Chains A and B, each alone.
Chain A
């Protein structure tokens, strides 16, 4: 479609037009509803909050919205691939490439990450007996920076400049010579900004866990979700700066004419090394927290402590360490030589050992227990066989010479969806159903939850299982069509059917949230017969939940108290003072500023870059001179001064 504006002719594709209409329509609808229900104060409350539970909810809410967007893209991809030589709507060539690029990028950075960070925010402080995250203000800043980056990547589509070099953005395809449009600049700045938010979140998690545990909550008594959060936070702290550097260099290549990734002195292989030194740990960053959720859920719903606690902790730590030594398994076909290929094949295989330990420990946690298949446990049970399939194909991919065949085919697409959907997404769903009462005071409906689970899980296997065969029959990934002679029609067709089934499952989830708010089943502090501290505080969790502060004497303290003390936790006589909760417009304002700053780079507006740059620096100065601690101390409040 073309139209005239300011004497210039603009072209707009019908998909973008439709998306505008849908976005503006829903936007107005939401505004109307908020206004009618007079909920502006709730919105203001959430926008200015620094409270961990509310920030967690914000993370989860935005992740769900982005999940819907990237999910629609997945359905578009699957529709285009349903039959050979298909011409679905506009999704061939560049449009298709943009669809899988934003699908992958959004799913990893703006769905998987915030789902898990959101759950950490909600649950970890309560699990370890902290009154809030160590740095509440920074916590809000982390979220708003994440959202600013997410909006940047998401808006690119509306500016008809979606990134189109795959979520891996390999150079030289991603350099200005081959993709001069603004698309990959959106990718760079979007990930850069949200990456800063993620790094700050990791620092916050580490400090919270190291400094704010309840008296007696030794590291060796921490729930496994808290442990996996700690390990993940360290992985983020090491891996994300590598991404920052890679994106920074790519930005210089694209905007300022350097040639790190091309030309005589540069090499496109440098990008691959940098990207995967970040990228492989990243996939553990998004699966280790899910492991933690499953440990807690399986133990609670089997009424038993987790089997082999120590080996569970050691296993996550080893997975985290090994995760930094395997990145070349994404580069076996680059031709780095026999020694490199075999060494990285072996290190990759080794990761199977700690992962296997965890699987068997989960199985033996269930053994001799009493397994209640509530919705969170269903997701955990569905995870085990699904993830094991993803794990065994992972070992097969580690066999470097075999990977020469597998690499960049649908076999790989199947493998990583088995791990990321089977691990991360099922884990996040389990966590959402499990901790929902702590966020809002009522449960999600069990019946709708079961429908959601079965549709999603069966749909998942129907979608991704056939893709293994498509890959073995020679279907490369990132192709927008295939021929009848390729003999992969049947696999693709079945896969498309499954994808729509997953879509319907997801609608059940959204419907479930709506129904549960409409008609809430209030359920008290401890709806699941819980074992850990978060179930001893009111639902939804209040601002200073631990009053009095409990004294922790064992692992699973609440369970022990229910068995031996009539449900009363022993009270500690010392307690750590609480972090300072403020309400502030600064985090959201600053993130908006950073977003504009990024846009001024994406569209090369030099004067705006200077003005906004000065404003960003001014904000730093302003913030450095703000001192909430002295203010609080003067008001005589008992607060922590770290």
Chain B
């Protein structure tokens, strides 16, 4: 059984060429998160491997068979030493995991107070069931976000109606949009390209369709695009 599972697992990783969006980060934020995912996965695989080894070992060695079926095992209450071992070792593993967890979480959950000097400001408004992006020069787009590469972007997140959640998997984790509240988030895209964006908090009938595309472009192209859009509305 377990063998099949591992086979299936490795097949998946092979099939998808390891290109899972969350593990293919295009910003520092997403890279830190991806690191945490892989680091915690590795640590946890140690635990998993130990359990599976003991499990298979005990189950095959002590399984009932013709020789032992009338044997009554010796009474055994427990073993303080063993029990201390499997209390302390998990503590150590968790302590190791806690260090990067605390430092990255602390940094990424901080309320944004100061804006980097060269930051691009974009106001994001979520409503059932679309996204509106307004840029500094008054341009507005729907479900279509454009960003310059290598410059910090400060998103100001607001909701028109109910809770939504703003998520661009390759650029970083989500942030909820809460009616009546304002949230901020800063990311710096490091590579040009088109990335998927999604609403991640269930928000009603067409939550599924509340998606947007993010296009990260060269700074000059971006400025040009903004200019063209501006001329269009004027």
CB atoms of B173 and A389 under 8 A apart: no
How many Å lie between the Cα of A361 and that of B86 in the bound state? Answer: 9
Write the nearest CB–CB distance from B157 to chain A, whole angstroms.
9
Cross-interface CB contact of A401 among B32, B41, B64, B165, cutoff 8 Å: B32
A409 within 8 A of B: yes
CB atoms of A345 and B105 under 8 A apart: yes
CB atoms of B44 and A363 under 8 A apart: no
Interface centre among B2, B87, B165, B202 (most CB of A within 10 A): B202
CB atoms of A457 and B1 under 8 A apart: yes
List residues of chain B with CB within 8 A of the CB of A304.
73, 75-76
Closest partner residue, chain A, to B57 (CB atom) = A367
Query: Which stretch from A166-174, A232-240, A429-437, A583-591 is at the chain B interface?
Result: A166-174
CB atoms of A338 and B105 under 8 A apart: yes
How many Å lie between the Cα of A295 and that of B8 in the bound state? Answer: 31
CB atoms of B87 and A353 under 8 A apart: yes
Write the nearest CB–CB distance from A339 to chain B, whole angstroms.
8
Cross-interface CB contact of B98 among A349, A462, A474, A480, cutoff 8 Å: A349
List residues of chain B with CB within 8 A of the CB of A400.
101, 105, 109
How many Å lie between the Cα of A485 and that of B161 in the bound state? Answer: 30
Assess A333 versus B207: contact at CB under 8 Å? Given A305-B75, A381-B59, A388-B51: no
How many Å lie between the Cα of A311 and that of B85 in the bound state? Answer: 13
How many Å lie between the Cα of A461 and that of B183 in the bound state? Answer: 39
Write the nearest CB–CB distance from A333 to chain B, whole angstroms.
5
Interface residues as binary, B38-51 with A (CB distance below 8 Å gives 1, 0 otherwise):
00110011011001
List residues of chain B with CB within 8 A of the CB of A269.
178
Write the nearest CB–CB distance from A388 to chain B, whole angstroms.
5
Write the nearest CB–CB distance from B109 to chain A, whole angstroms.
4
Write the nearest CB–CB distance from B8 to chain A, whole angstroms.
7
CB atoms of A474 and B22 under 8 A apart: yes
A303 within 8 A of B: yes
B20 within 8 A of A: yes
How many Å lie between the Cα of A166 and that of B110 in the bound state? Answer: 30
Assess A478 versus B207: contact at CB under 8 Å? Given A338-B105, A342-B105, A408-B200: yes
Interface residues as binary, A381-405 with B (CB distance below 8 Å gives 1, 0 otherwise):
1001100110011011011111111
Write the nearest CB–CB distance from B191 to chain A, whole angstroms.
17
Closest partner residue, chain A, to B101 (CB atom) = A399
CB atoms of B55 and A402 under 8 A apart: no
A422 within 8 A of B: no
CB atoms of B44 and A305 under 8 A apart: no
List residues of chain A with CB within 8 A of the CB of B8.
462, 465-466, 494
CB atoms of B63 and A563 under 8 A apart: no
Q: Is the interface of A mostly helix, strand, loop or mixed?
A: helix
B6-52 at interface with A (beta carbon < 8 Å): 8-9, 12, 15-16, 19-23, 30, 32-34, 36-37, 40-41, 44-45, 47-48, 51-52
CB atoms of B77 and A305 under 8 A apart: yes
Closest partner residue, chain A, to B197 (CB atom) = A474
List residues of chain B with CB within 8 A of the CB of A311.
78, 83, 87
Cross-interface CB contact of A173 among B77, B83, B162, B175, cutoff 8 Å: B162
A370 within 8 A of B: yes
CB atoms of B109 and A268 under 8 A apart: no
A609 within 8 A of B: no
B174 within 8 A of A: yes
B225 within 8 A of A: no
A561 within 8 A of B: no
CB atoms of A466 and B12 under 8 A apart: yes
A601 within 8 A of B: no
CB atoms of B108 and A404 under 8 A apart: yes
CB atoms of B55 and A384 under 8 A apart: yes
Closest partner residue, chain B, to A471 (CB atom) = B22
B65-79 at interface with A (beta carbon < 8 Å): 68-69, 71-79
Assess A309 versus B21: contact at CB under 8 Å? Given A178-B162, A396-B40, A402-B33: no
CB atoms of B36 and A399 under 8 A apart: yes
A350-384 at interface with B (beta carbon < 8 Å): 350, 352-353, 356-357, 359-361, 363-364, 366-373, 381, 384
List residues of chain B with CB within 8 A of the CB of A369.
62, 73
Cross-interface CB contact of B179 among A262, A342, A457, cutoff 8 Å: A262
CB atoms of A401 and B48 under 8 A apart: no
A307 within 8 A of B: yes
How many Å lie between the Cα of A472 and that of B20 in the bound state? Answer: 6
Chain A interface residue count: which class? 35 or more
Interface residues as binary, A422-455 with B (CB distance below 8 Å gives 1, 0 otherwise):
0000000000000000000000000000000000
Interface centre among B68, B69, B98, B109 (most CB of A within 10 A): B109
A151 within 8 A of B: no
B167 within 8 A of A: yes
Query: Which stretch from B89-97, B145-153, B216-224 is at the chain A interface?
Result: B89-97
How many Å lie between the Cα of A395 and that of B173 in the bound state? Answer: 18
CB atoms of B16 and A469 under 8 A apart: yes
How many Å lie between the Cα of A369 and that of B157 in the bound state? Answer: 59
List residues of chain A with CB within 8 A of the CB of B87.
311, 353, 356-357
List residues of chain B with CB within 8 A of the CB of A267.
180
Assess A352 versus B200: contact at CB under 8 Å? Given A308-B78, A381-B59, A407-B173: no
CB atoms of B77 and A363 under 8 A apart: no
List residues of chain A with CB within 8 A of the CB of B174.
333, 404-405, 407-408
CB atoms of A333 and B176 under 8 A apart: yes
Closest partner residue, chain B, to A340 (CB atom) = B109
A516 within 8 A of B: no
Write the nearest CB–CB distance from A469 to chain B, whole angstroms.
5
List residues of chain B with CB within 8 A of the CB of A406.
37
A94 within 8 A of B: yes
List residues of chain B with CB within 8 A of the CB of A356.
47, 86-87, 90
CB atoms of A341 and B91 under 8 A apart: no
Assess A395 versus B40: contact at CB under 8 Å? Given A305-B76, A334-B176, A338-B110: yes
A487 within 8 A of B: yes
Cross-interface CB contact of A367 among B58, B91, B102, cutoff 8 Å: B58
List residues of chain B with CB within 8 A of the CB of A336.
109
- Please report B residues at the A interface, Cβ cutoff 8 Å: 1-2, 4-5, 8-9, 12, 15-16, 19-23, 30, 32-34, 36-37, 40-41, 44-45, 47-48, 51-52, 54-55, 58-59, 62-64, 68-69, 71-79, 82-83, 86-87, 90-91, 94, 97-98, 101-102, 104-111, 161-163, 165, 167, 169, 172-176, 178-180, 183, 196, 198-208
24 sampled A-B residue pairs with Cβ under 8 A: A172-B179, A173-B204, A268-B162, A268-B179, A305-B75, A333-B175, A341-B105, A342-B102, A345-B105, A353-B90, A373-B63, A381-B55, A388-B51, A392-B47, A399-B97, A401-B105, A401-B109, A402-B101, A405-B30, A405-B172, A408-B174, A471-B22, A476-B167, A490-B12
In the A-B complex, list the 8 residue pairs whose CB atoms are closest, starting with the nearest.
A404-B173, A308-B78, A392-B44, A479-B208, A472-B20, A400-B105, A338-B109, A474-B169
Beyond contacts A333-B165, A401-B32: 14 other A-B pairs, Cβ-Cβ < 8 A, are A97-B205, A172-B163, A336-B109, A337-B110, A357-B86, A360-B54, A367-B62, A392-B47, A400-B101, A403-B173, A457-B1, A473-B16, A473-B22, A473-B169
